[in-house]
Structure 1
Amino acid sequence: MASITDSLTRLGDLSVPFTPVSVTGLGDAELLASQGRIAEVRRRLDAVAATVAGEIAHRSRRELGHAGLAQSEGVRTAEVLIAKVSGTSTREARTLVKAAELLPVERPPAPDAAPVPRWQRLIGDAVAVATISVEAAELIRTRLTAAADGVDEDALANAAERLLAEAAGLTIEQLAIRAGRVRDELDLAGVAAREQELRAKRFLRVSPQLDGMTRVTGLLDPESAAIVVPILDAATSPRRGGPRFVNPNAIERAEDIMRDARTTEQLALDTLVDLVRAGAQVDPNRLLGDRKPAVRILVTKTDLDTRVGAAFFEGQTEAVSIDTAERFICSTGAIPILFDDDGRALNLGREHRLFTEKQRVAMAARDGGCLMCGRPPSWCEAHHIDHWDEHAGRTDIDSGVLLCRFCHLTVHNNRWRIRRDGGDYLLEKPDPNGVLRHTPLPSRSPPLSRLLAG
């Protein structure tokens, strides 16, 4: 059987017919290693593709008019031409062209061209040596560009270096969150403007279809999502791996949902329709009644007192302004949660078998969601790091962490341990050779990061 390495080596020889390689005989470790090698080859190909795309864009630049490469081929732009030749989307082609702008080029720069900032050159160098993908490069570039005005060049370069160092261990979704937080650290003054920009993009469109159905499409800004998403999660979470329940009534309800003949998507829609119907039946002078949705907004006291900083809706990753935090605190009140210098929430000293709701609120503020996979707090269960029975564990806040149902079961079923090191938590599990390894489980809570940095 040909190895993955042999197959990857032959990929560039277009004179040889392509045949998929069989992987059923690979062991688990070899299979995962093969996936990693394939990813690196893809990054290398992307770097070459970006270089070629950049040259196509250069030969299609606007001042060349109809003599330019794209227009001579009968299309308007280089991106359309690249997409046509490659059989990809114009969005992917645009990403390649943007990445090419960061790469070193052989031709001398135009006399009137502005020098490429050092932080952008760092990103380009990482693409050129296939350390990151062009998609990751574009993500980092756009996030840092949003904070670039008025920010010191060295600070931008340091931020780029941090993100490039972390990118290899993150999915593109996780990198987007991390890059957004770095952007906010650099440009706290711009948080309010970015919040308004996202809010301006919100919409709901109802479109009647020819078959009698009605299509609903839309976008929720972070504040709207913080209200709507937890309600839909609560209605559908038994289907989608949400938290298990210990209350007998909740168990019965969850079992009813599991037996329901409706699909998860139909259940979510019916929940939304029921909410609208209920809202329409209240006092017409108060469309949604007096009860406010259960929404938590997290902010440090320092940011609130100085009115300089950022706040975050629980379960959402984008920062919102201090004005928004004050508005929510004014209407719903505030629950103070005290942390020590290590970032540990102050213990309530309880020794009940189960964590209380107040303790879960504190853990949500501290952890920001599942410490292993990042699912939002509403999807999480409280895990005793020192098991109640086996290790005589206490039910104190610093002895518990938030894990989603899947990760919670994974830890227990594999008999892994989560240990505390000061204010930090580590996942302890054996590697393929049986050697115990410790993987950091950093908090995903932006306010806690600001508190510790402040």
Structure 2
Amino acid sequence: MSKLSALHQAMSRLDGLWADADDAADLSRDRLTAVHSATGELRRLLDAVHADVAAVISQESRSELGAGGLAKQQGFRSAETMIAATTGVSRVEATRLVAVGEATASRTDLRGSRLPARYPALGEALTAGRLGVQAAGLIVALLERCRISAGTDRIAEAERILTDKATGLSLDDVRRLVTRADAWLDPDGLEPKGEEMRRRRSLTMFERDGMLHLDARIDIETAAPIVAAIRGYVTAAFAARKDAPDANAPDADAPYVDRRTVPMLQIDALALFCAHVLGCEGESLPLAGATVVVRITLDDLQSGTGCATIDGLDQKVSVGAARRMAANGGVIPCVLGGGSEILDWGREKRLFTRAQRLALVERDGGCAMCGLPPQMTKAHHLRWWSRDHGPTDLSNGVLLCETCHHRIHDNGWEIRIDGEGVAGKVWFIPPEYVDPECRPRLGGRARFDMAA
């Protein structure tokens, strides 16, 4: 089916769903959800058609045509300028449209023979309306950047995996996926990239409008303890807020009510840590057990190749960075596949141990449903300890933030764990009113790992 045919079908579906309604307020919840899905599909298909058009405009405006190029005939310096002005998007977005269109369109060789598209799997996903141009643009940029270092076969495999995994993800989650895929495609590039980032790290301070402004650019290796400590403080502050005497008081001026936002808490944490370093006396800082955990396989650690991950951060680091971090205090090096430690305690223990929680973080990456970092989650029994006599095992545990924990219990979602230990996968099964077919949705770290 062509892009235009798919576009017409999507428009017909939307017309049918919107029939007899003057505006969205007249729609039932079921129809509202259906219209929302149809609108998303229509938007993706329209962008796909636009990308095709943008690629041809770029071809017809190439520099060797001189003044006879399409864009210059229309009074524009380039195809991107013409597209941006005509559609009201930024020049960056116009450039992305051209790049995606060129990467997914069929080509011709010097003799005029037809060649397949550079990225056919992406093109199929765009034509079917499964993927939007913005997500496709992120994937194309990564594949083009790593095309030489990774090789043709590896790039083709990455295209297939990324296209499949990006379907149904938000653009923010696609960025996380692409960040992890970068290390998978070019692991040898992590060390030089890390060195470059360290050279660019900076913190500038200036006063304006009566306030001090901080502008920080921090490489991942340096940022890891900062992120862990600040997130730990925020988590502890929210936990203390629930236990405060006036936590539910409607009066905002009640003496014990903490009304600070997350950004406020984060800057308060930074100020508190600095004051402590300067010699602050008193009780120890509340960090809710915040710890930097660096995870690396035993093979990578011994060979000095590959990469490592840091809990709560998407960007991977080189083996050299992992070794340097492991030599510092306050960092736990988690070597996978090395020495054994008991992770399944059956009914002997009610609470998950520290070792079990580290294993759950390895599997789930944080909140298995929404992706919040590990510091903001708790380990929960799938089969309850008291009611269902569920064991305190990895196969019966999952990391969830407080919000997702309540959402799952209150709205009838189910959770299934496939596989054993840290290699298991977490699946969320929606209730029938959300999805009549109850199709499982992959959760945890597996959503972003480069595994077929």
TM class by shorter chain equals 0.7 to 0.9
Give deviations 1:237-286, integer Å, cap 9, x for gaps. Answer: 478xx6x57xxx9945995998234443233223223333433459xxxx
- Hey, what's the Cα distance between the residues in 2 that align with 1:317 and 1:85? 37
Name the structure 2 match of 1:126.
125
- Hey, what's the Cα distance between the residues in 1 that align with 2:121 and 2:434? 37
Name the structure 2 match of 1:137.
136
Q: Please tell me whether the aligned partners of residues 416 and 428 of structure 2 are also in contact (alpha carbons under 8 angstroms).
A: yes
- Correspondent of 2:344 among 343, 347, 350: 347
Query: 1:69 deviation in Å?
Result: 4.5
Name the structure 1 match of 2:23.
22
The change in CA–CA distance for 1:320 and 1:434 in structure 2 (over 3 A counts) is closer
Name the structure 2 match of 1:320.
317
Query: 1:383 deviation in Å?
Result: 0.6
Q: Please tell me whether the aligned partners of residues 230 and 378 of structure 1 are also in contact (alpha carbons under 8 angstroms).
A: yes
The change in CA–CA distance for 1:260 and 1:344 in structure 2 (over 3 A counts) is same
Query: 1:70 deviation in Å?
Result: 4.2
- Hey, what's the Cα distance between the residues in 2 that align with 1:23 and 1:344? 56
Q: Please tell me whether the aligned partners of residues 177 and 317 of structure 1 are also in contact (alpha carbons under 8 angstroms).
A: yes
The change in CA–CA distance for 1:105 and 1:436 in structure 2 (over 3 A counts) is closer
- Hey, what's the Cα distance between the residues in 2 that align with 1:384 and 1:129? 39
Query: 1:95 deviation in Å?
Result: 0.9
Q: Please tell me whether the aligned partners of residues 103 and 128 of structure 1 are also in contact (alpha carbons under 8 angstroms).
A: no
Moved more, 420-429 or 360-369: 420-429
Which ranges in structure 2 are unaligned for 5 or more consecutive residues?
Answer: 1-9, 248-253, 281-289
Name the structure 2 match of 1:212.
210
- Hey, what's the Cα distance between the residues in 2 that align with 1:277 and 1:394? 44
2:275 equivalent to 1:274: no
**Secondary structure at 2:387 match in 1:** coil
Give 1:227's aligned amino acid: P
- Correspondent of 1:224 among 219, 222, 238: 222
- Hey, what's the Cα distance between the residues in 2 that align with 1:203 and 1:414? 46
The change in CA–CA distance for 1:9 and 1:362 in structure 2 (over 3 A counts) is closer
Give deviations 1:350-402, integer Å, cap 9, x for gaps. Answer: 73333233432232123211111211111111110110121012223332110
Query: 1:227 deviation in Å?
Result: 2.1
Name the structure 2 match of 1:99.
100
The change in CA–CA distance for 1:99 and 1:433 in structure 2 (over 3 A counts) is closer
Q: Please tell me whether the aligned partners of residues 118 and 157 of structure 1 are also in contact (alpha carbons under 8 angstroms).
A: no
**Secondary structure at 2:25 match in 1:** coil
**Secondary structure at 1:427 match in 2:** strand
Give deviations 1:152-201, integer Å, cap 9, x for gaps. Answer: 42332222122222222222222222333334333322232343454455
The change in CA–CA distance for 1:159 and 1:225 in structure 2 (over 3 A counts) is same
Name the structure 2 match of 1:161.
160
Q: Please tell me whether the aligned partners of residues 428 and 436 of structure 1 are also in contact (alpha carbons under 8 angstroms).
A: no
The change in CA–CA distance for 1:437 and 1:167 in structure 2 (over 3 A counts) is same
**Secondary structure at 1:191 match in 2:** helix
2:390 equivalent to 1:393: yes
Which ranges in structure 1 are unaligned for 5 or more consecutive residues?
Answer: 11-19, 283-292
Give 2:307's aligned amino acid: A
Give 2:141's aligned amino acid: T
Name the structure 2 match of 1:57.
58
Map of 1:245-264 to 2, 5 A cutoff? Answer: 251-252=243-244, 259-264=257-262
- Hey, what's the Cα distance between the residues in 1 that align with 2:270 and 2:214? 12
Moved more, 225-234 or 29-38: 225-234
Name the structure 2 match of 1:287.
none
- Hey, what's the Cα distance between the residues in 2 that align with 1:387 and 1:379? 21
How many residue pairs were aligned?
418
When the two structures are superposed, what TM-score results if normalisation uses the length of structure 2? 0.78
The change in CA–CA distance for 1:24 and 1:56 in structure 2 (over 3 A counts) is same
- Hey, what's the Cα distance between the residues in 1 that align with 2:88 and 2:109? 30
Give deviations 1:103-157, integer Å, cap 9, x for gaps. Answer: 4368x5668x9x9886524323433453321111111112222332243423322
Name the structure 2 match of 1:184.
183
Q: Please tell me whether the aligned partners of residues 309 and 315 of structure 2 are also in contact (alpha carbons under 8 angstroms).
A: yes
The change in CA–CA distance for 1:59 and 1:233 in structure 2 (over 3 A counts) is same
Q: Please tell me whether the aligned partners of residues 206 and 217 of structure 1 are also in contact (alpha carbons under 8 angstroms).
A: yes
**Secondary structure at 2:272 match in 1:** helix
Give 2:328's aligned amino acid: S
The change in CA–CA distance for 1:206 and 1:250 in structure 2 (over 3 A counts) is same
Name the structure 2 match of 1:35.
36
**Secondary structure at 2:327 match in 1:** helix
Give deviations 1:188-229, integer Å, cap 9, x for gaps. Answer: 2223234345445544343443x3334333333322332222
- Hey, what's the Cα distance between the residues in 1 that align with 2:354 and 2:313? 20
The change in CA–CA distance for 1:84 and 1:437 in structure 2 (over 3 A counts) is closer
Moved more, 253-262 or 49-58: 253-262
Percent of residue pairs bearing the same amino acid type: 32
- Hey, what's the Cα distance between the residues in 2 that align with 1:6 and 1:276? 60
